[in-house]
């Protein structure tokens, strides 16, 4: 197959995988395989600019708005993240930022394998929860979100507040769910991420409640209204407003510190009660984040390091799968 045909082939394959993953929560290939094919497509598209296609999977913020929930437009776009896969690519990202920002600091956080969510509060009360959807318009899934016990319905702040984070299915909830599915002769969920996404899209919130989801909050959307200057301060403030914030993060000054922290988390990854598929590296200063801005798809001030694939034996499925 020549490179032009390979591009067409990869676009078709990736589009099919995206629909399986985002629409039906039922992927047929591992995330690593998907990421590998996407990387290959992007490399080939760079070599063949004459084959540009605005509808290529590489050009999309993937996500779909389903029927059944009210559509809500986000105040500001919910972006995805670019990916890096090794030390050298982290170094490139750091060098690029150091080229335009002085005394740079990064916050390195866990990358939860769940689904992005926005929460809105007015006058100290929860108003609504909206999925990322296609980044501009999401779905109002408030009824299901209210079943997550760790999400506050009231906060000690009367001004408008929007926080964003990740809803996930803890490993224990996932195991219990698949055990119930097995007992009832129903299809097993491929992974906690897909199980979480499927639960949030249940029209009967009783079903969602039985799935025992949880969430971590990592982004204070209107931090500027509160005079918050850094991501670290934003995390602290969210915690003081009773949002569940993961204490497992570190402020780092250079690639070496970032890499060491990533390695230390990777070592204990299997012992964490939730799935992470990588680490997110964010510029700490919020004003520098605004200066760097975003491309159409991803922010320039943050990136996601994806863990390499590892072979594991799953207890439930009793087959060897790649995660
Ligand atoms: P992504 O998974 O590469 O990362 C971006 C997302 O990370 C953000 O939108 C946010 O929701 C999340 N995130 C978690 N922790 C975070 C933190 N601490 N700070 C900021 N964000 C955090 O991007 P995506 O667009 O959600 O999904 C694309 C990925 O989905 C692909 O890389 C692939 O792995 C997977 N995928 C797999 C298939 C398949 O068939 N297996 C198909 C499509 C997509």
Q: Per-residue DSSP letters for 124-188? A: TEEEEEEE-TTSSEEEB-HHHHTT-TTS-SB-S--S-EEEEEEEE--HHHHHHHHHHHHHTT-PP
d(CA 159, ligand 1 centre) in Å: 30
Beta-carbon contacts of residue 62 (< 8 Å; ≥ 6 apart):
18, 22, 80
User: Cβ distance 143 to 246 under 8 Å?
Assistant: no
Identify the pLDDT of residue 203: 84
**pLDDT category, 10, cuts 50, 70, 90?**
very high
d(CA 4, ligand 1 centre) in Å: 27
Atom 43 of ligand 1, residue of closest alpha carbon: 18
For residue 306, pLDDT beyond 70: yes
Beta-carbon contacts of residue 29 (< 8 Å; ≥ 6 apart):
17
Closest to 85 in 3D by CA, of 46, 103, 111: 111
The active-site residue, picked from 111, 182, 183, 212, is: 111
User: Cβ distance 217 to 242 under 8 Å?
Assistant: no
Identify the pLDDT of residue 305: 97
Q: Can you name the residues that pair with 154 across neighbouring β-strands?
A: 125
Best residue among 304, 308, 309 to mutate for probing ligand 1's pocket (most ligand atoms within 8 Å of CB) is 304
User: Cβ distance 163 to 238 under 8 Å?
Assistant: yes
For residue 51, pLDDT beyond 80: yes
**pLDDT category, 145, cuts 50, 70, 90?**
very high
ipTM over 0.95: no
How much of the chain, in percent, has pLDDT values that exceed 90?
75
User: Cβ distance 22 to 80 under 8 Å?
Assistant: no
In three-state secondary structure terms, 320 is strand
Identify the pLDDT of residue 162: 98
Closest to 188 in 3D by CA, of 197, 175, 199: 175
Identify the pLDDT of residue 32: 85
Identify the pLDDT of residue 318: 39
Which atom of ligand 1 lies at the shortest distance from residue 30's CA? 41
Atom 11 of ligand 1, residue of closest alpha carbon: 116
For 58, 198, 289, the CA distances from 37, given in Å and listed in that order, are 10, 25, 30
The verdict on whether 111 is a catalytic residue reads yes
Lowest-pLDDT choice from 16-25, 39-48, 157-166: 16-25
Q: Can you name the residues that pair with 320 across neighbouring β-strands?
A: 313
**pLDDT category, 295, cuts 50, 70, 90?**
confident
Orientation of helix 171-183 relative to helix 192-200, angle to 10°: 80
User: Cβ distance 79 to 150 under 8 Å?
Assistant: no
For 155-210, what is each residue's pLDDT tens digit?
999 999 999 999 999 999 999 999 999 999 999 998 999 999 999 988 888 888 99
Structure tokens at 299: 């922010």
Give mean pLDDT, residues 4-32.
Answer: 88
For 58-72, what is each residue's pLDDT tens digit?
876 445 555 689 999
How much of the chain, in percent, has pLDDT values that exceed 70?
93
Residues within a 6 A CB radius of ligand 1? 17-18, 20-21, 27, 29-31, 34-35, 62, 80-81, 83, 109, 111-112, 116, 166, 218, 280, 304
Identify the pLDDT of residue 292: 95
Atom 4 of ligand 1, residue of closest alpha carbon: 81
Q: CA 192 from chain center: how many Å?
A: 13
For 207-251, what is each residue's pLDDT tens digit?
889 999 999 999 999 999 999 999 999 999 999 999 999 999 999
For residue 23, pLDDT beyond 90: no
Lowest-pLDDT choice from 10-19, 23-32, 56-65: 56-65
For residue 317, pLDDT beyond 80: no
Atom 42 of ligand 1, residue of closest alpha carbon: 18
For residue 41, pLDDT beyond 80: yes
**pLDDT category, 18, cuts 50, 70, 90?**
confident
- Secondary structure (DSSP) of 51-103: G--TTSGGG-----PPTTS-EEE-SS-----EEE-SHHHHHHHHHHHHHH-SS
d(CA 106, ligand 1 centre) in Å: 20
Alpha-carbon Rg for the chain in angstroms:
20
d(CA 80, ligand 1 centre) in Å: 7
Give mean pLDDT, residues 260-281.
Answer: 96
- Mean confidence (pLDDT) of the chain: 90
For 25, 59, 156, 181, 323, the CA distances from 312, given in Å and listed in that order, are 21, 32, 44, 22, 7
Identify the pLDDT of residue 310: 62
Give mean pLDDT, residues 89-116.
Answer: 95
Identify the pLDDT of residue 314: 42
Give mean pLDDT, residues 81-91.
Answer: 95
Question: 212: which DSSP letter?
Answer: -
d(CA 111, ligand 1 centre) in Å: 8
Identify the pLDDT of residue 309: 75
Alpha carbon distance 47, 224 (integer Å): 41
């Amino acid at each position: 197959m020549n490179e032009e045909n390979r591009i067409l082939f990869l676009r078709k394959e990736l589009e099919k995988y995206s629909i399986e993953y985002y629409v039906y929560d039922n992927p047929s290939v591992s995330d690593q395989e998907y990421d590998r094919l996407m990387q290959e497509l992007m490399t080939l598209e760079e070599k063949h600019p004459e084959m540009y296609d605005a509808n290529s999977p590489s050009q999309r913020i993937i996500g779909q708005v389903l029927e059944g929930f009210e559509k809500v437009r986000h105040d500001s776009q919910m972006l995805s993240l670019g990916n890096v896969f090794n030390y050298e690519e982290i170094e490139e990202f750091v060098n690029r930022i150091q080229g335009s920002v002085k005394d740079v600091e990064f916050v390195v956080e866990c990358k939860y394998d769940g689904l992005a969510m926005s929460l809105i509060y007015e006058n100290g009360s929860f108003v609504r929860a909206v999925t990322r959807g296609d980044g501009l318009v999401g779905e109002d899934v408030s009824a299901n979100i209210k079943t997550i016990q760790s999400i506050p319905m009231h906060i000690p702040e009367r001004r408008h507040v929007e926080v964003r984070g990740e809803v996930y299915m803890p490993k224990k909830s996932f195991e219990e769910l698949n055990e119930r599915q097995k007992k009832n002769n129903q299809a097993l969920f491929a992974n906690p991420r897909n199980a979480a996404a499927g639960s949030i899209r249940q029209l009967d919130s009783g079903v969602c409640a039985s799935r025992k989801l949880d969430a971590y909050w990592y982004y204070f959307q209107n931090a500027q209204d509160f005079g918050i200057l850094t991501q670290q301060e934003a995390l602290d403030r969210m915690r003081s407003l009773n949002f569940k914030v993961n204490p497992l993060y570190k402020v780092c000054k250079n690639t070496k510190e970032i890499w060491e922290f990533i390695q230390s988390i990777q070592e204990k990854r299997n012992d964490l009660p939730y799935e992470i598929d990588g680490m997110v590296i964010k510029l700490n200063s919020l004003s520098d984040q605004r200066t760097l801005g975003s491309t159409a798809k991803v922010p320039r001030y943050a990136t996601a390091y994806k863990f390499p694939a590892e072979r594991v034996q799953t207890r439930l499925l009793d087959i060897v799968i790649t995660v």
